[in-house]
Amino acid sequence: MEKIRKKINFLGALYIVTLFIPFAVFVYPMLVPENGEVAEVVEEEEEAEVVNGIEVTSGLIYDDGYKLVATNCGACHSLELVTQNAATREGWIEIIRWMQETQGLWDLGDDESIILDYLSKNYAPKEVGRRPNLENIEWYDLEI
Amino acid sequence: MENKKKKTTQIDRKSFLLKSAATTVAVAFGANHLFGGSGTSKSKSPSSVKTNSAGKLKGKHEELTILNSKPWNAETPPHLLDDKYTPADRLFVRNNGVVPNEVNIDKWTLTIEGESAKQKKTYTFAELKSKFKHYTYQLTLECGGNGRKEFSPPAKGNQWGVGAIGCPKWTGVRLKDVLNDVGVKSNAVYIGYYGKDTHLTGDPDKIPISRGVPIAKAMEDEALIAWSMNDEDLPLLNGYPLRLIFGGWPASTSGKWLHKISIRDKVHDGPKMEGYSYRVPRHPVAPGTKVPEEDMVIIERLPVKSIITYPKTGAKIKGDKIFEVRGHAWAGDLAIKEVHTSLDFGATWNKCTLDSADNKNAWQQWKTNVKLPQQGYHEVWVRATDTEGTMQPMVLPGWNPKGYLNNACHRIAVERT
């Protein structure tokens, strides 16, 4: 009995180890950053693919600084949180300071001004007033 | 062109490999949703967590609009909210942190403690269910930022339209029964919750959110510690296995993945209780005003509000055919007295029929028959009035820096052809 149990344990262990082999060989190098910047590596390998002004992989408007936004902002939250927001330069600074003070965002160093240029240019507020028109309506025949 | 095609293939192969990797790890560790979660987040490429596919949200309707995939935030288009009792797959998702990886119901406990608790006491999930009487209430759950999308100047955060609202039936025990079993000191002011969700940075010492309510709200009959929604387990994204429910207050007070409640002798001071979070200016301000932190006050009950759930916006109606327009109305801790609709941008209003609520903090159903007076583009507007006589405004009410409490009338576009 003891022998059988040992064998089962061994097989179980072997199974788990086997599962890790593809992970270790193929994928671990992709997930673990070299010099701490895996996103940079991915970006450098491929030229940006841009459709209608949007860089496809990140979903960001394709302009100077988008890579820095993708790497720094996308490290903790999805970039959808960037693209659905709009603010003035001052507003984006406030958001960055709030994240630095309470959410663990690091010092952006020299990149901060590039990031702010990018955000305040490409994600600036539009004046819509107190009630915008209803837009993007998909019209259909109502069955009565 | 050729070059571009190749690139796409590369990307696909990469994302496939990343997915395979995640699957392998998930199998090895028994984790069921590695895609949304993150351990050491800096090591993860942004593209590996990004998705626009609603199918990624396990157990949720595919037409939910995903606002944010990390943390998960998704809202329900109003036409999907037509049911009186919001089905689990149609309840919006609003998370501040990362959904817990593993939930072991046999090991789940709830601890009550704090300066104003007479003792510290821990209940197992089974004890909680067996020791206290069960109650079922239909209770609204609405994000305080529901409607933020309309703010101008814009307010930062998830840009919710009108769909961060739902009203399922919840089953659990009364919070007051549990608090009284522990013993509440007379100096109690507030309760604060702690959940098992983790911070986006992966830092185990950081708490994504810990809010609560004044002791009076906690002691109401309808304040529940719930384990069930519409007679089924809570969805994981909505707090499985245990959460608080305070109907009519910002949903951020209704802590998910609940494992600790602190009875406080002061206003709870957990993350997102202070600063600008879930707060509005003490006095009205002009749009865009910078408001000092000390002038911000905590949001309590939510204002009167309504939605049109049928028909879906964009309906084309042939000739003078009569069609039904219906939906729900709710008003924080109050009830709804009347609901009106308008076909002429508020120039004239027509009173709707209105059902009574199942219980306090439940939404009410309204309906009316509509005939469009002439050919062309129209909008149907709905406006609810609460039991204190307060109506919904027709435009964005008091602008505030973080974009809360927009209860402007909901409207849909219709056309008579």
Across the interface, of A59, A140, A144, the residue whose CB is closest to B50 is A59
CA quadruple A124, A127, A131, A137: dihedral sign:
negative
- In the stretch 10-69 of chain A, residues with CB closer than 8 A to chain B read 16, 19-20, 22-23, 26-28, 30-33, 36, 38-39, 42, 45-47, 49, 56-59
Question: Which tens digits make up the pLDDT trace of B194-209?
Answer: 999 999 999 999 999 9
Token pair of B324 as six digits: 């039904």
- Is the CB of residue A109 less than 8 Å away from at least one CB of chain B? no
Q: Mind giving me the DSSP string for B258-316? A: EEEEEEESSS--STTTSTTTTEEESS---TT----GGGEEE--SPPPEEEEEESPTTEE
- B46–A75 CB contact, under 8 Å: yes
How many CB contacts within 8 angstroms connect chain A with chain B? 168
User: At residue B305, what is the residue type?
Assistant: K
Helix (H) or strand (E) holding B4: helix B2-29
- pLDDT-derived band of residue B356, with 50, 70 and 90 as boundaries? very high
Who's near B395: CB < 8 A, 6+ residues apart?
A130, A131, B408
pLDDT value, residue A15: 59
Cβ contact B379–A22 (<8 Å): no
In 3-state terms, what secondary structure has residue B385?
strand
- Cβ-Cβ contacts under 8 Å, A19 against chain B: 24, 27-28
- Interface ipTM > 0.85: no
* Whole-number percent of chain B with pLDDT over 90: 85
Q: Is the pLDDT of residue B46 over 90?
A: no
B398: number of Cβ within 10 Å: 15
User: Which range (A69-73, B27-31, B75-79, B93-97) has the least confidence?
Assistant: B27-31
Domains parsed from chain B with CATH numbers: 93-298 (3.90.420.10), 302-416 (2.60.40.650)
Collect all residues of chain B within an 8 Å Cβ-Cβ radius of residue A88: 153
- Is the pTM above the cut of 0.90? no
Please report the pLDDT score of residue A47 as a whole number: 77
Residue with tokens 């539009």: A126
**What's the Cα-to-Cα distance from B166 to each of B57, B302, B362, B408, rounded to whole Å?**
17, 14, 10, 18
B273-315: per-residue pLDDT in tens? Answer: 999 999 999 999 999 999 999 999 999 999 999 999 999 999 9
Q: Which of B99-103, B139-143, B300-304 has the lowest mean pLDDT?
A: B99-103
A16/B150 CB distance under 8 A:
no
How far is residue A96 from each of residues B61, B211, B277, measured CA to CA in Å? 34, 23, 15
Report, as an integer, the average pLDDT of B317-346. Answer: 97
pLDDT range class, residue B49, cuts 50, 70, 90? very low
Distance from CA of B402 to the nearest CA of A (A): 11
* Residue A46, both tokens: 């491929």
Partner-chain contact B47 A87, CB within 8 Å: no
* Across B310-339, average pLDDT: 98
Answer positive or negative: Cα dihedral of B299, B305, B309, B311: negative
CA–CA separation, B77 and B63 (whole Å): 7
* SS3 of residue A92 by DSSP: helix
| Dist. CA A52–CA A42, nearest whole Å | 22
Query: Rounded to the nearest 5°, which phi and psi values hold at B280?
Result: -130, 160
CB contact under 8 A, A142 and B323: yes
- Looking at CA atoms only, how far is residue A109 from chain B in angstroms? 17
Alpha-helical regions (H) of chain A: 2-22, 28-31, 38-45, 66-73, 80-83, 89-102, 111-122
Cα B281 → chain centroid = 22
Inter-chain residue contact B41 with A75, CB threshold 8 Å: yes
For chain A, give the percent of residues with pLDDT over 70.
Answer: 68
Q: Is the pLDDT of residue B359 over 80?
A: yes
Q: Is A129 left (phi over 0), alpha (psi -120 to 50) or beta?
A: left
Question: Cα–Cα distance between B275 and B297 in angstroms, integer?
Answer: 9
Given pLDDT bands bounded at 50, 70 and 90, which one contains residue B403? very high
- Most B CBs within 10 Å, among A68, A130, A135, to test the B interface: A130
Task: Verify whether the Cβ–Cβ distance B11 to A23 is below 8 Å.
Answer: no
Please indicate whether residue A33 or residue A12 has the higher confidence score (pLDDT): A12
**Which token pair is B54?**
């609603």
**How big is the CA angle at A123 (ends A59 and B18), to the nearest 5 degrees?**
20
What does the mean pLDDT of chain B come to?
89
- Bridge-based pairing of strands A140-141 and B315-317 is parallel
Looking at residue A61, its amino acid is: I
The answer to whether the Cβ–Cβ distance between A31 and B271 falls below 8 Å is: no
Pair B338, B380: CB distance under 8 Å: no
Strand partners, A132: none
